[in-house]
Structure formats: C-alpha cells, structure tokens
Structure 1
Amino acid sequence: MFYATIGRMVLIAAIMLAPAAVWAADGELRLQAIDSKTGQPIPVRVELPNSRGRPMRLKKVGTAELGDHFYLSGTATLGLRRGDYVFKMDAGPEYRTQNGSFTIDRYADDDKSVEMRRFADLAAEGWFAGDLDSQRSSRDLPIVAATEGISYAPSTAWTFDGKKWTKSHFLVLESVDDQVPLAAGRTLGPYTTRVELAGGTLLLVSDELLEEPPLELAAGVTSLEVIHQAREAGLHVVAATPTAWEYPLWVASGELDGVCLLTSQSEWKRIVDKDPQGRPRDKSFYPGKSGLVLWGEDIYFHTINCGVELSPLAGSGSGANESPLGINCTYAHLPNAFTPAAWWDAVDHGAVVVTNGPLLRPSVSGEPPGTKFRLDDGQTLDFQIALNMASRQRVEYLEILKNGQVDVEVRLSDWVSKGGKLPPVSFDSSGWFAVRAKTNTVDKREFALTAPYYVESTAGPRISRKSVEFFLSWLDELESRSDDSRSCTTDEVATARELFRGLSAKSKAE
C-alpha cells in the first residue's frame, strides 16, 4: 500500500530559488513535513508567498511548481531574504491543512518540522482516487500524485482539435517507472487523449502508454464516429462534461463509460459561457459559478431518470489550469488492490463517489453504489444507508436524493448522533437514490455525490417522461444549429431521437 511505502521513505529534496534570489539570501531554513503517527517524512504541497504576497518561484526540477504551490518530498532547504513568512502545507484531502510562520534573520540557519495529521485512510477502506483530466509532466506526477493521494492519473498525451492531432505541451511523453518510490502502486502517465469537436469534448483513456495517437481521425469526423472507433480500439470513453451539445447522442449510443460531473471551474466557464460546445444554462435558475455545476448535476439526473445507468466521474484540469491534481476526483471502490482494470470495472458497475471536498464512503446492506436491488410486485422496501464521512471543510448537511430530488435533508449533528446512519429511503416502485454532502464554502460549490443505487421492479427501470422530453427538446435545438457548430449528422440526431421516443413510450413516471 502507498501509505506503507511513504512510511519507509526518507527523501531529501534541496530546493533553490531563482539565482538572483539565492545570491540575495540572508539565511536558510530547512523545512520538513512528517506524519504525526509514523514520524516519517511525507511529500506535501506548499504555498509560500513572498513579502509581496506573490508565490515563491522555484527552479529545481522535480518540485512540480504550478500556480501558487509547489511540492516537497521530505525535507527542503530554502534560501530566503530577511523577513516574516507564512506558509500553508497540505498532504492531500486525508490530512488536515497546516498553516505556519517563521522569521528569517541575517545568517539564519534554522530548522522547522511540521506535523501533518491524518484523519482518514480511504485506500485502507478500499476506495482509490482517480483524476481523469490532467496535463501534468510524467516527471512531476509521482510526487504530485503521492501527495494528493491519487492512485490513477492518466494524463493527456494527445489532443485532436477536429483537424489534426497535437502532442500535449504540458506533458513529457514518457512512462512513470514503477520503481520510483512515490509511483509504486499507482498508474501515472500519458494514457489519455482529448478529442475536442464542435459538439463537445471526449476523453479517451487507453490501457497502454500513448506514444502515438490511438485513432486515425480526419477533419469532418463526427463525435459518434469517434466513440465507435474508440470502442473498437478498446479505449474507455468519457464525456468531458454533461453540457456538451452532443451529449444526448452519446447517451443514446450506450457507449459512454461515464461523464465528468466535476471539472475545474475554468473548464465549466470556458465550455458553458464562452464556448459553443456547451448547451447554455438558464441563468435565472442556475446563477453564478455554482449554477454551472448545478446545471451539470441536473443534466446528469435527467440521464439517470431516463433509465440510463451511467457513472459520474471527475477531473481537475491540472496543468491546463493551476489547480492541484485531484482537486476534483473520483473514488472507486475496489474489493482488492488497485489496478487500472479493477478501477474501470468499478466505474462500469457504478461503485464510485465524486468529490471536490467531503470524503464519502456509503454502504447499503454492505454494498457500494451502483448496486441494483430487486423489488417484487406490491412490495415496499426501506433502504438504510450507512455512511462514513470525513471532511476538512465544515459540511452543512447531508441529502438523500430520490429520483433526482432531495428526499431527506439531515443536519450533520443528527447524523453523528445516530452513529453514521441516515434515515431510510422507501420505494414501492422502480427508482434510484444517492447521497450528497455539501460544505459551507461560499466561493464555489463544494460537495460530494455518490453514484446511484438502483431499485428495479418487474416492470423494469424507472423512466421519467419529463426527463425524456428534456432530451428530445435538446435534440431539436441541436438539429437547428448550423453545420459548422456541430459535429454530428442529421441522421445521427434522428437515430437518437427515435431512441428517446422509444423511452417515452415506456415511461410510467412523470
């Protein structure tokens, strides 16, 4: 296991400032992060602004500097000018954030050790994190993934823009050697391609390193043709967002492995507000930055309400933006050790939770999300949800969603007093339920959502007429768009429309 590996590891990384800053250094500080229980050094993410409040710029290869943060693997020697400094240190979502300060005087030669306190160990419980949308160098990935607790980081190697393939500027195209201590037990490196067409972006994930583009694509290819070719090539196919104009076509194809419900805020802004790929939201119902995510959630709930079983997934965009790897991630529940094949098998079965904050581990009758429960005619079943949760941010309340609507809202104190059990959710007909946790964060929508649990009677899955009509209306809008603003044919739209009309004929729920 990763945590055992870190516990045995003592790595020293000497970090130097830019030459001009080093020459002007008045003193040195050796900064070390250790696990409070093991006493061993661990890798950490550090924010260390200078006296002007700007991020310190590091030059030594291997520190994975990005935006306002960099990474340390153990102990670092910092050459600094005189002054008072504050820092913020993180070791992923399972450790508490540590804030600290120090003073550098002339000729200072000091040591500072920071204890990182762990409050959760999801891998020990069988939950392994993946980030499906990043563009980080293979040289950086071992320390970055180890710090952030990410087991699976298939970074983007190639991008197809509708005309040609381009190698990622953010990625050194090389594998990550499993013998690197920080990479052991993880799958990291160039396994993903992005296909960015007028109708939306697809993430195609390979089981093999992508030294070359995995498909032969040419200008004029439709998004459905890409999906069909990707499936034939054995690639995993993920919709980069649920807002893509051609998302209903992809759902109708039945060939998606999942949809990224959580992306970086910048990705949502680009796709929904500025880029013609995304179907725009009604800002009176979905206002502000949180509205972007709420719009995507509702599209996903409409998908499930059409009787389609599809897993929610997540990606950070790290590298293409300045977000840390895994700031949005998918936890997949694996019965045994992590492997990419086991991780994707969990995705296929819906045994996942997506989060950009709270860490949820649900269980119903001992089973993870994605489990399907049978309901006999005339029978009513109550489902008791057991839930483990940990969060560095204050969670405001927990919600049980039933068929896409909030069925029960539980204050955190009530959940704690009942030993981690939520109120039962009752079904007398087909449907689905999930759990969502939200924090008090005001500057963004910070939450976690389990994939659905399904309840199915002898009449078959629940199909909502309202949700089917939602997608039929969407297809009408798609068909009316100009040829250069879509990557599909009229025949492909017609085929999808017939499928949704067929669902409408089967629908028994509003």
Structure 2
Amino acid sequence: MNLFYAAKLRFEVQNEDALLLPCRIHLFDQNEKPQKIEGLPYWHDHFVCPGSAQLELPTGRYRYEIERGPEHERLNGEVTINDESPTMVRRQLNRIANLRDQGWYSGDLHIHRPLSQVALLGEAEDLDFAPVITWWNKSNQWEANSHPQAGEDEREGGALLFHRLTSHIDITQSSREVPSPMVYVEQVRREHPSVWIDIEKPFWWDVPVWLASGQMQSIGIANNHMWRSRMLPTEAWGRARDEKRLPPPLGNGFWTQEIYYHILNTGIRLPPSAGSASGVLGNPLGYNRVYVHLDGKFSEDAWWNGLEKGNCFVTNGPLL
C-alpha cells in the first residue's frame, strides 16, 4: 500500500429495484486493518451506511464484505484504488427471504450502541426491534427519547436485562455481590409492572435462583458469546462446562443449549431470546436475533406479547 497518496473509494449498494439499500460494510486493507468512515456509525470491524459511502484512503488493494442481516445474501470482493480517478464499487444486494411478509419480526435484546445511531443501524441490519441499554451497572445514560430503552444488572452472579421501562432504576451504588440482583428485580416489579426481565445467558451462577423466583420472562440462547467472527471459548465467570465433553469452538453453544433443555424439562417454559452486545463485544447489531411471529401488524406491545407466548425462534444466520 502506498501511504503517500490518497484516493477516493465510493460504495453504492442497491436492491433489486436499483434503489440505495442501507447495509453494513466490512472494509479491510492489505494488512487486514478495518477501515472506518467519518460521520457513519462504526464498531469493531465495520461501518453501516444508508446505501452509499465515500472514503478517502491510501492507494492500494482492499477487500470488502457487505451484509444486511440473514434475510439478504452476503457479498464480498476486492478493489484496487489509485490516485488517478475515483473508484466506484456498485453492487446489488438481493433479498433471499422475507420473513416479515410471513408475520415474523426480528429483535435484538442486548444493544449498547448510541441512541443517535440506532435508527440507521436498524435499517442497515433489516432489524425490526432494537431496544437500547442505556443504564448498566455504574453507568447511566438514560435520556428522554421515544426510542425504547433498557437496563442491565451485570455482576458476580450474572446478568439480567430489564426491558419495557418508562424510566431507569438506580443500581450505581451496587458492588459486585451486594445487594442481590433480586433486590432490583423486586424494585423494578413494583415501579414498572409491565417490565420484561430477560436472563442474559443460561450459564450464569444465579440462574437457578432467578428461575425459582418466577420473575423471569425469557433467556438468552443466541447470546453475546456467539460472534460473527468466532465463538468465545469460555463461560467468562459463569459455570464452566466440561471442555472434554464439549470442546471449543462450539462447546459453549452446545452448553447453552443443554442448560436450556434442562430448564424446559423442569416444566419452566421460558421463551428463548437473543442479543448481540454490539457496542461492547465484537458483534454487529442484530447478529444474534429473535424472530417473533405476530398475527397482525407490528407494534412493540404485540411483539412482546408474541414473545411471551413462545411464538419465536432465535438465530445468528441460518433460516430453515
């Protein structure tokens, strides 16, 4: 790559009708360094755009990947840019499934991205529902906003996600173990009767207590240990699996599934949920998503009601 010369590279991504299509772009130089663009949402190794994006880059060869959630095909290619004239990459990104037409609406319940970016992020990922976590342990960024916001209590025993709130609850004074997460569960139930409480992952140590409380409403099966680029190999500070029986890289996923089946076999009927932790871990928004089937039009209330009934499935790619 020639670092002394810069050239312009423009992307235009279109749908089948030749209209610009919001999407996610992963762009890497010859050293596999991800490229970002000023003014567009960027995270980890990708940026999203409303269908077009222009960058000024050192001359050289680049490779790209273009995606828009699991209902569209994935594109990839290479481009060489020079300082003689602007380079254009124009690609058509085709839809391969339309679950919305069949009554299925997608959501990601674990998002740590700025509220100001989430509208474009949702369009670029073809995601229907994207509540944003704005308070989390010692951090509280809740603000007056019409977009649905949520909170997370993540400490020694694991993590709980609180959705369908009209205001935050203050957990900033908590330590790693005190007070018990159940103190906040009881508080939020009193102050927000319509709250939805999601167990963020099934292998957290406090999961048996949370299940016994009868206060939980869903559990994260496609969770943030599942990345677009890899599987996280351990259970963090949760209950570790037997790696001889369930070796990496897929062992963590099988362990998650196994625990969930044990929960169902006890007679506890918790619907599966999904979350990507985009903004904290290395996933795009909506990489892990839960599809909920609705009989009528989409609304937030209808979506939560459908999830409560268990009319859902989770995925991070395959659509069977």
Same fold per TM (> 0.5)?
A: yes
Please state if 1:69 is matched with 2:36.
no
Greater displacement, 278-287 / 348-357: 278-287
> What is the aligned counterpart of 1:325 among 281, 285, 309?
285
> What is the aligned counterpart of 1:231 among 186, 189, 203?
189
Q: Is the 8 A contact 2:169 2:188 kept in 1?
A: no
Map of 2:169 onto structure 1: 213
Q: Distance in 2 between matches of 1:26 and 1:108?
A: 11
Change (3 A) 1:129 1:214: farther
Q: Distance in 2 between matches of 1:31 and 1:200?
A: 42
Deviations 1:411-461 (A, max 9, x none): xxxxxxxxxxxxxxxxxxxxxxxxxxxxxxxxxxxxxxxxxxxxxxxxxxx
Q: Distance in 1 between matches of 2:113 and 2:304?
A: 21
Map of 1:34 onto structure 2: 14
Q: Distance in 2 between matches of 1:26 and 1:338?
A: 46
Higher relative contact order by CA 8 Å / sep ≥ 6: 1 or 2? 2
> What is the aligned counterpart of 2:212 among 252, 265, 282?
252
Change (3 A) 1:82 1:349: same
Q: Is the 8 A contact 2:161 2:199 kept in 1?
A: yes
Query: In the TM superposition, what are the counterparts of 1:290-305 in structure 2 within 5 Å?
Result: 290-305=250-265
What SS does the corresponding residue of 1:224 show, helix, strand or coil?
A: helix
Query: In the TM superposition, what are the counterparts of 1:251-290 in structure 2 within 5 Å?
Result: 251-265=211-225, 269=232, 272=235, 274-275=236-237, 278-290=238-250
Q: Distance in 1 between matches of 2:5 and 2:76?
A: 23
Map of 1:78 onto structure 2: 55
**What amino acid sits opposite 1:254 in the alignment?**
G
**What amino acid sits opposite 1:30 in the alignment?**
R
Change (3 A) 1:144 1:216: closer
Map of 1:195 onto structure 2: 153
Greater displacement, 138-147 / 106-115: 106-115
Map of 2:116 onto structure 1: 139
Please state if 1:175 is matched with 2:145.
yes
Q: Distance in 2 between matches of 1:105 and 1:258?
A: 52
What SS does the corresponding residue of 2:203 show, helix, strand or coil?
A: coil
Structure 1 residue 306: deviation in Å? 1.1
Change (3 A) 1:284 1:102: closer
Deviations 1:447-497 (A, max 9, x none): xxxxxxxxxxxxxxxxxxxxxxxxxxxxxxxxxxxxxxxxxxxxxxxxxxx
Q: Distance in 2 between matches of 1:216 and 1:166?
A: 7
Deviations 1:349-400 (A, max 9, x none): 00110111112xxxxxxxxxxxxxxxxxxxxxxxxxxxxx3xxxxxxxxxxx
**What amino acid sits opposite 2:140 in the alignment?**
K
TM-score (normalizing by structure 1): 0.57
Q: Distance in 2 between matches of 1:270 and 1:237?
A: 26
**What amino acid sits opposite 2:132 in the alignment?**
S
What SS does the corresponding residue of 2:124 show, helix, strand or coil?
A: helix
Structure 1 residue 206: deviation in Å? 2.6
Change (3 A) 1:174 1:98: farther
Query: In the TM superposition, what are the counterparts of 1:96-135 in structure 2 within 5 Å?
Result: 96-135=73-112
Q: Share of identical aligned residues, percent?
A: 28
Q: Is the 8 A contact 1:241 1:259 kept in 2?
A: yes
Over the aligned positions, Cα root-mean-square deviation in angstroms equals 2.4
TM-score (normalizing by structure 2): 0.89
**What amino acid sits opposite 2:64 in the alignment?**
F
Please state if 1:346 is matched with 2:306.
yes
Structure 1 residue 109: deviation in Å? 2.6
Q: Distance in 1 between matches of 2:234 and 2:154?
A: 11
Q: Is the 8 A contact 1:45 1:69 kept in 2?
A: yes
Change (3 A) 1:110 1:283: closer
What SS does the corresponding residue of 1:157 show, helix, strand or coil?
A: strand
Structure 1 residue 230: deviation in Å? 2.3
Q: Distance in 2 between matches of 1:90 and 1:269?
A: 22
- Which protein has the bigger helix share? 1
**What amino acid sits opposite 1:306 in the alignment?**
T
Q: Is the 8 A contact 2:234 2:252 kept in 1?
A: no
> What is the aligned counterpart of 1:93 among 46, 60, 70?
70
Change (3 A) 1:159 1:128: same
Q: Is the 8 A contact 1:158 1:167 kept in 2?
A: yes
* Stretches of structure 1 lacking an aligned partner (at least 5 in a row): 1-20, 177-187, 360-388, 390-510
Q: Distance in 2 between matches of 1:271 and 1:253?
A: 27
Q: Distance in 1 between matches of 2:156 and 2:64?
A: 43
Q: Distance in 2 between matches of 1:236 and 1:166?
A: 20
Q: Distance in 1 between matches of 2:45 and 2:172?
A: 38
Q: Is the 8 A contact 1:45 1:70 kept in 2?
A: yes
Q: Distance in 2 between matches of 1:199 and 1:270?
A: 19
Q: Is the 8 A contact 2:139 2:172 kept in 1?
A: no
Structure 1 residue 174: deviation in Å? 5.7
**What amino acid sits opposite 2:83 in the alignment?**
R
Q: Distance in 2 between matches of 1:82 and 1:166?
A: 41
Q: Distance in 1 between matches of 2:150 and 2:289?
A: 16
Deviations 1:36-66 (A, max 9, x none): 2x211011111111232211132x22x1111
Q: Distance in 1 between matches of 2:249 and 2:34?
A: 25
Change (3 A) 1:55 1:269: closer
Please state if 1:44 is matched with 2:20.
no
Change (3 A) 1:53 1:294: same
Change (3 A) 1:251 1:49: same
Query: Could you list the runs of 4 or more consecutive aligned residues of structure 1 that deviate by over 4 angstroms after TM superposition?
Result: 214-219, 266-271
Structure 1 residue 271: deviation in Å? 7.3
Structure 1 residue 158: deviation in Å? 0.9
Structure 1 residue 323: deviation in Å? 0.7
Q: Is the 8 A contact 1:73 1:143 kept in 2?
A: yes
What SS does the corresponding residue of 2:287 show, helix, strand or coil?
A: coil
Map of 1:334 onto structure 2: 294
Q: Which has the larger radius of gyration?
A: 1
